[in-house]
Structure 1
């Protein structure tokens, strides 16, 4: 069957009904569908769900991350949340609760339990304590947030760091007190705290403008910033996301994305406030961890699936190699959402081809665009299309597109947008324009300039633009997307190089599955025989022939044989590559790329 003409599997999408205004070349675009009525008081809404279906499963997680599934019901989870809330009330905690650890029922209890109290949740990546060195980023976060409580469910991997840090007067809560030398409160003590009427009084006293969470930015361009989110921000974002499709989150959800990142936290909130079942996936789109995700996908079909582009690239390889996985994955699937970065069009095309072969239907694969500063996704694709784009604004959000060379700078306003960063008045004055729109720093173009209602496409980040030594500007994001389109599936990911160089280069990671499938041999053999270099060179020559200047012609490509290192910030917890960290951490590879003669793993394009 021709993929391009195959029917779509119905996803019950929000109708496309936009208000588009243009003035002086600047566009303002918003959905005419109003943001649906919702209770800003999410702890109250969650209590109602738990009361309505106390025995229904809320969370599932494999024992030890890899064993049999263990289930926590809504009544059990609510009881644990109440234990956290009551303990915080008993301790008089009104400041931040720093939370470090994997996704788990206890982490969910702390996130929702803190939400019902006067305290403020501050979930952070455990990688901050695993990096080693002087732990400068974690010290910065502690100094910035100044937590009253530090919760670490399993401190075994970070004990040395935690024991060596000055936590001030913070109370440390952990499920592994035996590995820490400092005084702690056990997790069991907190979760089993007896609830009182004070919990309901605390919930009913909540206001939509109350700051309830500090979410840390990735720090890819500097030290992390703490984005302040109000209860109203979180509730509005959850409500607008629920309007994308009537399928929503009421069924089974399988997801790995960390809850200390806005996308993962949004999926958790949406599922639990909808009464759905959340299967915690302890796998990740990283070497050695993705096999667990595949095992979970083969065990649990879903209607609504969310992942990052790197996860989809790995999934495409796995689907092509495993007929049983294909049958299970597509059996109930109605929509595949992605976010966190731009998805390479060839990855979408490969997955759609398999969907059609397996089901006779294409399955909608839209983006969900957002930022830490917008609480999570505020745009998504809600028209049936095979074209990769950022989609359209969800109800409640207005986007402003300000001319920037041949592109537009994307700015955002709406109830999901933060009021600013913690203790950073200078930056807060910079991130909003004169009308209060958040300056995203992302650059976009129209999918169809003649019809803005077709949506917008990512066209780079202003912070990723750099100059060659000739003075020519390079759009790093656009070059990355074009390179992945050209080199897929031989190459899994690239980092664009580099400021003040004589020509454009790439550092690139080969895809073992893609190389084996396309060239018929393993990566090591393909390198030794030269067949991989020849294939990459041929593709890059074809790419360069269609380009008009040095800002997009790729002169060299250096192959990287060690994967991106999350402990060195080369790979975020959500699976996106930090270009700047890769270049800073691999000076030898970078110099080999530009050396004369070049290094042995460098492909030179004539």
Structure 2
């Protein structure tokens, strides 16, 4: 059976029903006709509802670091511990001001700290563990910036290393809660064991839609991180729009497994969805990087899923593992109904390989969907909630209006809805410019219709405006769009790449190789990696992919003239790669001046592939 002929496993999506306004200047505004239905006023209330209905149901599970067995916290356990923290914050007059700074990986304790703080009206600010564990070499500059921005009145550091980082940056007198407290810290078990009073329920009842629930940090890819204000109303609006479009079909009230860090909005969203819709959330200690992904594979052998989410880098590693292991593939696909990937990044070849595996294993395709949005839209506010075999960013979910302003053959995206932030903490000047004259948030991305005559087929990502640059000729290069097309043509040879050429005469590419992909085409598949990079079979395949891309490109801004592999990998310590596995293009290029100069040398070395004249 051809993969394209195989049916999709049925997913009971809601109907696509769009109100579409077309204006004389070419602007289009799309709004789902289905109204947004929000079932709880805030996440602590949603958790309380689930704990009352199913107190003994497992809610959170994490691996014991010593035995490797799953440790379980029921909905009742999480609610009791969160209420203890809420009471502790109220008793110490820490509620109603400042913020709870959380330095921790994903864990049961991290979740309890979040829900207990939110219940007390204390906004949570979770930060990447890298700020603490990798930040000492730079005197914790990123962590110091966060402290100066959100001015925490209390903090949580799960381990002794987290506590040490917090002590280095927090003002004297700010209490630090930990499972491994220092002499001046507060013990997590004692804090969460505080006996709750009626003040806890009263505090939760007093939360309004405008009460700040979190300050979530942007990645800082174009400068220092900003603290995005996320209100309780924003958070539940985003969760329930996702539930209406995807969650009921996906099974967010069933069994979940995810690694995405809770310091990032995608990970925070999924864990809170499990809390208010009744899911059993398995905390995956793995990550989509060599070595750490083995933990994810172990967990996928243990936990059968109806719904799975990851980032493009994770799916590239997953399909490699599934192609090698039939038993793993059978476990993974047996109950699977829906797979979610990050909105702008999944290469079509990875999508195609995953579908081929699904058809070979269970006889049908699996619906792949997307969560597209930003920290400023709480999390993903657009998705693919209709049958499609195209990679894209989908359509707005209930409650969101998307304005599409024409730019050449694509559209700039702008968004309005109750899940969109009121602004950034302490950034009045910036806040004055993040919306257009009609109040639409300018997200900074562009898109195209898959089919302009059929908007219901969804949108395809067409690049970030901030990643575009000019050649020396004055011609604009859409780097994000070009990157996606090159990843398609260069699959499976390339894991990711940098589009270079700002103020140069032509576009050049620096690429991180995929070792498994290189071996699949190499003349000598057993050769060491450094030999694979100059293997005749590999170089011929690269030239073929570049030629196919160039043939379809229009103008100098779309054609690649030179290409070279990078010998290193993106440096997480230098913040070149985010917690969710995406590469910071600007920073990665800034950190590789010698590689760029070699790419553009008048007499390039043997490692540089030249496409001049093709």
The TM-score with structure 2 as length reference comes to 0.95
Partner of 2:112: 109
Residue aligning to 1:268 = 271
In 1, Cα distance between the equivalents of 2:564 and 2:310?
A: 28
1:568 and 2:568 are equivalent in the alignment: no
1:180-329 equivalent positions in 2, closer than 5 A: 183-245=184-246, 246-247=248-249, 248-329=251-332
Counterparts of 1:283 and 1:50, CA distance in 2: 28
Superposition deviation, residue 569 in structure 1: 1.1
Residue 159 of structure 1: how far off its partner (Å): 5.5
1:528 positional shift: 4.8
Matched, 1:358 2:358: no
Give the secondary-structure state (helix, strand or coil) at the position aligned to 1:517: helix
Paired residue for 2:515?
512
Question: Is 1:484 aligned to residue 487 of structure 2?
Answer: yes
Q: Structure 2 vs 1, CA of residues 65 and 332 (structure 1 numbering), >3 Å: closer, same or farther?
A: farther
- Are residues 1:540 and 2:546 paired? yes
Report deviation, 1:66.
7.7
Q: Counterpart of 2:313 in 1: which secondary structure?
A: helix
Select 2:591's aligned residue among 585, 588, 598.
585
Counterpart of 2:558?
Answer: 552
**Deviations 1:137-174 (CA, angstroms, capped at 9, x unpaired):** 22211111111012110132x56543432434421112
1:4 aligns with 2:4: yes
Do residues 74 (structure 1) and 80 (structure 2) align? no
- Is the 1:337–1:368 Cα contact (8 Å) retained in structure 2? yes
Structure 1 distance, partners of 2:321, 2:534, is 25
Q: 1:86 to 1:489 in 2, by over 3 A?
A: same
Structure 1 residue 65 displacement after superposition: 8.3
Deviating more after overlay: 584-593 vs 128-137: 128-137
Cα distance, 1:545 vs. partner?
A: 2.4
For 2:144, the equivalent position in structure 1 comes to 139
Q: CA deviation at 1:543?
A: 2.0
The aligned counterpart of 1:176 is: 180
Deviation, 1:222, is 0.6
1:64 aligns with 65
Listed as ranges, the matches of 1:347-386 within 5 Å are 347-386=350-389
Structure 2 counterpart of 1:429: 432
Alpha carbons of structure 1 residues 529 and 488: separation in structure 2 relative to 1, 3 Å? closer
Contact 2:147–2:169 under 8 Å retained in 1: no
**What is the CA distance between 1:440 and its match in structure 2?**
0.5
Does the aligned pair in 1 maintain the 2:47–2:275 contact within 8 Å?
Answer: yes
RMSD in angstroms over aligned alpha carbons?
1.6
What TM-score do you get using the length of structure 1 for normalisation? 0.96
For residues 416 and 251 of structure 1, the distance between their equivalents in structure 2, rounded to whole angstroms, comes to 25
Task: Report if the CA contact (8 A) 1:308-1:341 is conserved.
Answer: no
Tell me by how many angstroms 1:191 deviates. 1.6
Q: Deviations over 1:37-73 (max 9, x none)?
A: 4111321221111111111101111112881111111
Distance 1:98 1:250 in 2: 29
**Partners in 2 of 1:37 and 1:534 — Cα distance?**
55
For the 8 Å contact 1:492–1:511, the answer to whether it is kept is yes
Unpaired runs of at least 5, structure 2: none
Aligned length: 602
Distance, in Å, in 2 between the alignment partners of 1:67 and 1:60 is: 12
Give 1:521 shift: 3.7
Cα distance between partner residues in 2 of 1:446 and 1:244: 20
Moved more, 280-289 or 97-106: 280-289
- 1:457-489 C-alpha deviation (Å, 9 max, x unpaired): 110011011011111110011110011001011
Is contact 1:38-1:236 (8 Å) kept?
no
- Equivalent residue, structure 1, for 2:392: 389
Structure 1 stretch displaced more, 284-293 or 325-334: 284-293
| Of 523-532 and 26-35, the range deviating more from structure 2 | 523-532
Instruction: Give 2:418's aligned residue.
Output: 415
Q: CA deviation at 1:187?
A: 1.6
SS of equivalent residue, structure 1 residue 257: coil
2:99 corresponds, among 93, 96, 100, to 96
How far apart are the structure 1 equivalents of 2:217 and 2:67?
A: 28
For 2:115 and 2:170, locate their aligned partners in 1 and report how far apart those are by CA, in whole Å.
Answer: 27
1:106-150 Cα offsets, whole Å, 9 max, x none, are 000011111111211111111122132243222211111111012
> What is the rounded CA distance, in whole Å, between the counterparts of 2:117 and 2:219 in structure 1?
23
Q: For residue 600 of structure 1, report the CA deviation from its aligned partner.
A: 4.7
Match of 1:164?
168
Q: Select 2:153's aligned residue among 136, 148, 151.
A: 148
Per the TM alignment, residue 252 of structure 1 is displaced from its structure 2 partner at its CA by 0.3
Q: For 1:37 and 1:535, locate their aligned partners in 2 and report how far apart those are by CA, in whole Å.
A: 51
Q: Is the 8 A contact 2:32 2:400 kept in 1?
A: yes
Q: Structure 1 166/8 Cα, relative in aligned 2: closer, same or farther at 3 Å?
A: closer
Distance 1:453 1:562 in 2: 42
Deviations 1:536-583, CA, capped at 9 Å, x for gaps: 123212321232211111112221222211111111001111111111
Runs of 4+ that moved beyond 6 A: none
The answer to whether the 8 Å contact 1:214/1:229 transfers is yes
Q: Is the 8 A contact 1:515 1:521 kept in 2?
A: no
Q: Does 1:603 align with 2:609?
A: yes
